Structure 1
Amino acid sequence: MAMPTHIVAVGAWVEDNHGNILLVKTHHEGWVFPGGQVENGESLIEAVIRETKEESGIDIEVSHLSGVYSNTGEYIGYDGVTNIPTKVMFDFVCKPIGGELGIQEEETTDSRWVPIDQVLDFITEEAVRTRFKDYLKKNGGIHYKNFVTNPDFELKLERTV
């Protein structure tokens, strides 16, 4: 039996002092919040700081974990060949502490601060919308959801711990 392979990823809900959320526009997924895969030898905190800087130019301070999500759907990636394994994603609440908002061409095509009540007008992917709605609850609990995204979004399990 082969060893299981998972993608470990992080996401940053960066909210400024004016109630705006940092969003980035990716080449494949449209508007999302900053995040991405954790690299070998990197902690979750290091990864979320690095990914946010790479995608938006913004430096952040990580406050706390807000959600853990599993995408257990198996599907073929953007290259049309690679089988995508289960993805485990850790979302963190963060504050901006510096840097300069900008486009990072390898990673993103746009980045901006969006008023919190307009974020859902930008985000179209259902899994990302679900994670943002959890962020909005701000109930002190850590949200856990298991879903699949392909061929369609389907929520399999939902808990708050």
Structure 2
Amino acid sequence: MNYPVHIVSVGGLIENEEGKILMLLSPDRGWEIPGGQVEEGESLTNALKREVKEETGIEIVVGKLRTVYSNITKRVQLDGISSIGSIVNFGFTGKAISGELATSEESLEVAWVDRDKVLNLIGKDFMRDRVKNMLNPDDKIIYGVFTREPYILHEEQFI
């Protein structure tokens, strides 16, 4: 019996005291919010704290869950045969509590960006849709399903 394989990831819409949003320039996806894969045995919130610190140098407190997105793009391992599985991403808000901006192997540049300029920086449609919904002041959680290359949003609903 083959067991399903899913990658779980997190992303954070992190604000500082001035209300600016933490953004990073990824080497392969352009400007985006910080986040990444949840490691085995790690909680979603601890994964977000770790990823934000690793990618930006900023320590945070995690806020509310705002989005859940399923990337159902069919992908394969380097062997060309084995499935990688879909990605489920949980998007949280958060507040910066300490640290200095710092780049890493996963961030070519890190910046605090005015809230009204965030969406203009993001080049990838899937990330722009996710962040747009995280910026929405409505307290509902948004669930979406998409595929990439080409980007198609198959479903989006408030939960």
TM range (shorter): over 0.9
Q: Which runs of 5+ in 1 are unaligned?
A: none
Aligned to 2:3: 3
Q: Which runs of 5+ in 2 are unaligned?
A: none
Aligned to 2:123: 124
Cα distance change of structure 1 residues 109 and 83 upon mapping to structure 2, 3 Å threshold: farther
Aligned to 1:69: 69
Deviation of 1:120 (Å):
1.6
Q: State how far apart, in whole Å, the 2-side matches of 1:134 and 1:18 are.
A: 21
Deviation of 1:134 (Å):
0.4
Asked if 1:95 corresponds to 2:95, the answer is yes
TM-score (norm 2): 0.93
TM-score (norm 1): 0.92
Aligned to 2:55: 55
Q: State how far apart, in whole Å, the 2-side matches of 1:108 and 1:137 are.
A: 25
Deviation of 1:75 (Å):
2.8
Percent of counterpart pairs with the same letter? 41
* RMSD of aligned residue pairs (Cα, Å): 1.6
Conserved 8 A contact 2:73-2:146? yes
Deviation of 1:64 (Å):
1.1
Aligned to 1:158: 156
Residues matched between the structures, number: 158
Aligned to 1:27: 27
SS at match of 1:131: helix
Deviation of 1:80 (Å):
8.8
What CA deviation, in whole Å up to 9, does each residue of 1:8-49 have, x standing for no partner? 000010012222110011111111100000001100010000
Q: State how far apart, in whole Å, the 2-side matches of 1:134 and 1:33 are.
A: 13
Cα distance change of structure 1 residues 83 and 4 upon mapping to structure 2, 3 Å threshold: closer
Deviation of 1:137 (Å):
1.3
Q: State how far apart, in whole Å, the 2-side matches of 1:115 and 1:86 are.
A: 32
Letter in 2 for 1:144: Y
Q: State how far apart, in whole Å, the 2-side matches of 1:85 and 1:26 are.
A: 22
Q: State how far apart, in whole Å, the 1-side matches of 2:158 and 2:29 are.
A: 27
Runs of 4 or more off by more than 3 Å in structure 1?
A: 79-84
Cα distance change of structure 1 residues 134 and 80 upon mapping to structure 2, 3 Å threshold: farther
Q: State how far apart, in whole Å, the 1-side matches of 2:48 and 2:79 are.
A: 27
Aligned to 2:137: 138
What CA deviation, in whole Å up to 9, does each residue of 1:55-92 have, x standing for no partner? 00000000110110000011357x69575320000000
